[in-house]
Amino acid sequence: MANTENLEAPQSLGAILLRSCQRYAYSAAYLVPSKTGVTKITYLELEGHVRRWASGVKSLGLERGDVLCILSENSLEWALLDWACQTLGVVVVPIYPTLPSDQAQYIVENCHAKVVACGDEAQAKKLSEMHNIRIFLLKNGNNSLELMSSQAPLIEKEEWIREISKTSGADTATIIYTSGTTGPPKGVVLTHSNFLWMNQAVAKGFAIGEGDVFFSFLPLSHVYARANDHFLPISLGSAIGLNRSLSSLAADISQIRPTLMLVVPRFLDSMRDRISEGARKGSKIQTRLFEMTVNQGKRKVQGQSAPLHSFLKKVVGSKIQARLGGRLRFFVSGGAALPSSTFAFYESFGVLVLQGYGLTETTSGIYINYPDRPNRSDSVGEPLDGVETKIAEDGEILVRGPFLMKEYFELPTDTRAAIDEEGWFHTGDVGRLEGSHLIITDRKKDLIVLANGKNVAPQPIENLLRQGKYISEAVVLGDGLDGCVALIVPNFEALRADLHLQESTLHLIELETVKHAVKADVDLVNAGLASFEKIKRHALIPEPFTIEGGELTPSLKVKRKFVSEKYRDTIAYLAR
């Protein structure tokens, strides 16, 4: 029998994996949906799969500390390759599959990768001009790591365990590149200790473990999903239900029946729109019950009298719960601010949404609204155990603790600018503390300075605008101007449905009925703003913001500088 004494107190992600595979051997580790049902992969089977993939990685000649990139959509093979690398001390650098070729090439070159695993031929083509880089398909091909792993000599278990034990907590586990909203992406170096601390801190605050089922659909290229949909569940003995694609999302949720899900506000908003659209197509009684439920939930959240809330939540909410598999305990929302209207909508139906906060540099979320405490829609929650926080004189949020990145890869000046001599990380976010609760108000670099010297925080205004029925996206600008202006992408689907229109988006934004509907949403927001915050003028944009178009980062944050440049003529017109 292999000696596993040195794995009793795991020092690395590989050691965590091996301990869980031994501790939860016959429990489900992964649930893989298909048209014919769900395939269960036990922890014992997972150990065998990862050991086999580790054999394939070893056959490539990669050594401890070498870098392997994964340029692919999520898949079981993505997860297995990552785990295999973690057991061998190979550093994994994930790359968003939506990135254009120049940005993907930049990351591959910047991190000094020796091998890249690509999800398909289209991804591999992005790197075809690069030399001295070995490119393989992840799966499904003669040139795939999947095939190589199946054919490579199987590493002896004793040898594999020795390799796992060589990795210390201080070793680099991954380099995750930031979205690049303000310039070229920077590689955030995260260690094994960073992730081990995160696993332990979440375990202290949440009753999650064997028997829980995560539903993994957010990109593993992002730290949010990588830490909490990938490393965390395995460390706790939970199961991970995989999503095949966005088109099969609803069917996969129905099959997996998760107990918790990591989401982003855009997902919740999209689901809310689909639920609301379905309700409008029901009978008059069903529609009325739905509207009453939403109204009572909103009143409850606002602290007003809502005598029918509990009853309607149970009666109508059961149908919403059923669409989510019937046993969902809660959503965890991160990546962007959660609109209060979205929070209230799900609260109406008894669906718990817990908002959190974190960055790539903090190894994902370090603040969260806990499920067994009052859940505040205006707060990103309370700190995980071990998080130190203080607010600087200018309002910037500073944090300190064992979750902080090691450094920005090969950028010592940037690292010193981000983490001061006392170890405080300057988040770039502006906010305040109310007791132990953290309130985020804006991004420091996004603050608008009007011509009259007034400072305006655009993000809260943008969040309010996006709550409008006919507004999909909004960017508020105004540096050096007499007042704030906004670029607005209308909710074309809602406009077509409500106004019975068929025109193209280019023609829709010219229609007076459309302009009037959007202006009504803007006026509603303006009514609650200070005079200097009000949107003086706005323009409608015919095309949605996308990653491919350059307006959004891979984590769906708006690139304000890019948008300002792209629509500079429109902004100049608004500023007249």
pLDDT tens by residue, 133-142 = 999 999 998 8
- 3-state SS class at 518: helix
pLDDT at site 545: 87
Among residues 471, 511, 512, 475, which one has the least CA distance to residue 494?
Answer: 471
The secondary structure of residue 446, as a DSSP letter, is G
Give me 256's structure tokens: 């997996």
CA distance 332 to 235: 18
Closest CA to 474 of 412, 417, 521, 427: 521
- Provide the pLDDT for residue 175: 98
- Under the banding of pLDDT at 50, 70 and 90, the label for residue 183 is low
Asked if pLDDT for residue 162 goes beyond 50, the answer is yes
Cβ atoms of 365 and 224 within 8 Å: the answer is yes
pLDDT tens-digit profile of 259-271?
999 998 888 988 8
Rounded-to-integer distance, Cα 374 and Cα 435, Å: 13
Place of tokens 């409500």: 498
Q: How many residues does the chain have?
A: 576
Q: Percentage of residues in the chain with pLDDT exceeding 90?
A: 64
pLDDT of residue 1: 32
**pLDDT reading at 558 higher than 90:** no
Q: Which two tokens stand for residue 219?
A: 């990109």
More confident residue, 247 or 41: 41
- Each residue's pLDDT tens digit, 420-465: 999 999 999 999 999 999 999 887 777 787 877 777 888 889 989 9
Q: For 16, what's the count of Cα atoms within 13 Å in the CB-facing half-sphere?
A: 24
**Is the per-residue pLDDT at 9 higher than 80?**
no
Q: What pLDDT shows up at residue 316?
A: 86
Pairing of strands 213-216, 239-242: parallel
> Which range (56-70, 232-246, 288-302) has the least confidence?
288-302
564 falls in which pLDDT band (50, 70, 90)?
A: confident
Residue 180's pLDDT is 58
**Contacts for 140-147: CB closer than 8 Å, 24+ residues apart:** 145/53, 145/56, 145/57, 145/77, 145/81, 145/117, 146/56, 146/77
Average pLDDT, the chain: 91
> What's the pLDDT at 106?
94
What distance in Å separates the CA atoms of residue 449 and residue 456, rounded to the nearest whole number? Answer: 6
Q: Mean per-residue pLDDT for 293-320?
A: 86
Taking the C-alpha atoms of residue 509 and residue 471, their distance in angstroms, rounded to an integer, is 12
Statement: residue 181 has pLDDT above 60: no
How far apart CA 247 and CA 257 sit, in angstroms, is: 17
Output the pLDDT for position 8. 61
pTM for the complete prediction?
0.85
Q: Predicted confidence band at 471 (pLDDT cuts at 50, 70, 90)? A: very high
Residue range 315-329: mean pLDDT, rounded: 89
> With bands split at pLDDT 50, 70 and 90, how would you rate the model's confidence at 182?
low
Percentage of residues of the chain with pLDDT beyond 70? 98
Radius of gyration over every alpha carbon of the chain, rounded to an integer in angstroms? 24
User: Dihedral sign, CA of 567, 568, 571, 576?
Assistant: negative
215 or 298, which is more confident:
215
CA distance 84 to 317: 42
Q: What is the pLDDT of residue 277?
A: 83
Strand duo 437-443 + 425-434: pairing = antiparallel
Tens digits of residue pLDDT in 492-524: 888 888 888 888 888 888 999 999 999 999 999
Interval 311-321: pLDDT, tens: 888 888 888 88
pLDDT score, position 121: 95
Half-sphere exposure of 388 (CA within 13 A, CB side): 9
Delineate the domains of the chain, giving CATH numbers in brackets: 28-167+206-262 (3.40.50.12780), 447-574 (3.30.300.30)
Binned at pLDDT 50, 70 and 90, residue 6 comes out as very low
> What is the C-alpha separation between 249 and 64, in angstroms, rounded?
37
Res 103: pLDDT: 87
